[in-house]
Amino acid sequence: MGGLECKFIFTYKNSCAVVAQVADDPSPSMISTYQSAPTLEVASKLAIDGCSSKNEGRACQVTYKDCTPPVLIYE
């Protein structure tokens, strides 16, 4: 839509990434958590725990998850 205020806030490579947000009332004041890890399970746990702690203990849920294809480097 031609937004001029867009910017990268999180990048990942050779890993999995998750975004967690408050589950019950996503308001503008909530703090989303971005987390990468070797697996979706680890990234999800870290993101949900971090989101909850940054949002006064409120329940959080994963709203995005993905893994990049592995890149093997031969030496």
Give the pLDDT confidence of 25-66 residue by residue, as tens digits: 767 788 999 999 999 999 999 999 999 999 999 999 999 999
In a domain, 72, yes or no: no
In a domain, 74, yes or no: no
Is it the case that residue 5 has pLDDT exceeding 90? no
Closest CA to 10 of 57, 58, 65: 65
- How many domains is the chain built from? 1
> Could you tell me the residue range of the domain that residue 57 belongs to?
16-67
Instruction: pLDDT band for 2, please (50, 70, 90 cuts).
Output: low
How far apart CA 63 and CA 44 sit, in angstroms, is 10
With beta carbons less than 8 A apart as the criterion, state whether 65 and 59 touch. no
In a domain, 38, yes or no: yes
Span of 16-20, 21-25, 50-54 with lowest mean pLDDT: 21-25
| Token pair in block for residue 54 | 């940054």
In a domain, 50, yes or no: yes
With beta carbons less than 8 A apart as the criterion, state whether 67 and 16 touch. yes
In a domain, 62, yes or no: yes
- Residue-level pLDDT at 1: 57
